[in-house]
Every structure is written in C-alpha cells, then in structure tokens.
Amino acid sequence: MWTATMATLTFLGTSGSVLTKERMCAGILFQDKLLDVGFGVLTNLVRSGKKLNSINEIYVSHTHSDHIGDFTAVVWAMAMDNRTKRVRVVSSASTADVLKNILELQSTPRSWLKFDIVFVRPEDVGVKHVTTMHEPENLAYRFETDRGGFVYVGDTARSEKIAEFAKGCDLMIHDAMFLDGQESLAAVTHHSTARDAGSAAKVARARRLVLTHISPGNEGAEKRYLTQASAAFDGRIVLAKDLQTLTV
C-alpha cells in the first residue's frame, strides 16, 4: 500500500466540462504526481512553480476531455524540458488505450521523446481504487498519509460505494458540479450535487470535504455550494479554487 508522510495538494483546475476565466479543468498536484490533466492544467502547473522534471506519475480518472485535455501538452512540455527519466501513467486499461491513441493522433514524434511513458494499473503501484458511477469508466483513487489519507473521486453520480471506499479518510475531494434544483442534470451527466458530496463525506466519516469540478453555469454561487453541502456534512468544507493549497 502506497503511504506518504504529511504533504500538500495544489489544485491546478477546479472547473467542470470547460475552463473559465477563473478556473481551469480538472487537475491536482500531489508531491511528484498529477491527478488528472484537464484543459489548462499545464498553465497552472507552470504558474505554481513546480518543475516539470519533478513529475514522475500522472493518474488519470477517465477519458473526458476536461480530465485529459492537457495530456499531450504535458508530455510535449516534458520533452521540451529535455526530460530523460520515465513518466508513469496510472489509469484503467481502457483509459490507457485512449491516451496512447491520443498521442498518436496528435502526431507525437516518438523519436523526439528521450523518456519512456509507461502505462500501468493502480494495483501495480499499490494505490487503492474503485470504479465510480460514471460513463465512461472513472476510477477514484485513495492515497494514504500519516493523517489518514485522501480520496480523489474524479467524476461520479451519487454513490454509496464511493462513501464506503473513502471511510475514515482525512480529506475527500468530491465532484460537486451541480446544486439543488439541478438533480436532473446531475443524473443525465453522471455527476453529483454539493449536497450529494456532503452526504458521501458524512457516510465516509471524512474529516474534511473539498468540493470541486464546479459547473461554469454556477459561477458566483459559492455560498450556495457551501450551504447545501453543510446541510448534509458537519465537518470542514472547502470550495476549491485554482492554485489553492491544502495539507494532507
């Protein structure tokens, strides 16, 4: 089982579906790992001051463009940075196939890359994972730390399985694309509301909940997100913002 001492998370993208002026698409920096690489993540990675050569693993939840839109850009940027050490991409088998095809379709010159891209499953690197309620297949990941670990859900509809998977975690990072009154949108797109995220955190007995993957149509509704999530969960709740850093 993969375990880390206390570390930090930096949110590189917190928007759902498309980027906005304030929010890039899905992405988190955790030590030497990127968790998803949606549109705009490379821009915020550069803004964060993190060196590309320090990234050793890329975890991908699923193949929607708001989670993989910058995958090729990150690979090309690594090549431009004269990288020579391998990078490991962790995902489901179906996601790996798509990512390989994208590199080919975008004419990535293999002879130009001086490093290997190794595609592996999460069980190969000792990271717990579970399939969420989403189409296409989405993997949620759990990383253990001295403080109890954190769970990155990616995309999901409301799911008791996710709450069980996250039991006892210090921090739960949950899809909260929609608000009360938007349940039909959440259902058809296989996403969650802020209240759904709060309910999952309550069942999981998480200490903290982070709401992310915010719908661009709900910009400016920060208080509603926090109010609706807190109606179900009485722990600490954070509405993630781009380049925000949290300790885990």
| 91 shares its domain with 135 | no
Distance between alpha carbon 27 and the CA centroid of its chain, in Å?
A: 5
C-alpha–C-alpha distance, residues 241 and 150, integer Å: 18
- pLDDT score of 6 more than 60: yes
What type of residue is 120? V
Would strands 171-175 and 208-212 be described as parallel, antiparallel, or unpaired? Answer: parallel
Residues 53 and 157 in one domain: no
Q: Using CA atoms, how far apart are residues 196 and 241, in angstroms rounded to an integer? A: 20
In a domain, 210, yes or no: yes
Is the pLDDT reported for residue 238 higher than 70? Answer: yes
Whether residues 176 and 96 share a domain: the answer is no
Cα 129 off chain centre by:
13
In a domain, 55, yes or no: yes
pLDDT of residue 214: 98
106 — phi, psi (to 5°)?
-95, 20
Q: Cα separation of 36 and 74, whole Å?
A: 11
Model pTM?
0.96
- Cβ–Cβ < 8 Å for 25, 15: yes
Decide if 247 is inside a domain: no
- Does some domain include residue 71? yes
* H runs (alpha helix) in 148-193: 160-165, 183-189
- Examine the domain organization and report whether 145 and 222 are in the same domain: yes
Residues 83 and 120 in one domain: yes
Tell me the pLDDT band of 244, cut-offs 50, 70 and 90: very high
How far apart are alpha carbons 94 and 91 in whole angstroms?
Answer: 8
36 lies in a domain?
Answer: yes
Residue 214 lies in a domain: yes
What dihedral do alpha carbons 46, 37, 55, 96 form, nearest 10°?
Answer: -160
By the 8 A CB rule, do 131 and 114 touch? Answer: no
Domain limits at 140?
127-241
Count of domains observed in the chain: 2
Q: What is the pLDDT of residue 60?
A: 99
Clarify whether residues 135 and 107 are in a common domain.
no
- Confidence at 7, pLDDT banded by 50, 70, 90: confident
Distance, in Å, from the CA atom of 117 to the CA atom of 75, rounded to the nearest integer, reads 9
> How far is Cα 74 from Cα 58, in angstroms, rounded to an integer?
10
* pLDDT band, very low/low/confident/very high, at 148 (cuts 50, 70, 90): confident
Average of per-residue pLDDT values in the chain: 96
Verify that 78 and 139 share a domain, yes or no. no
Domain assignment present for 2:
no
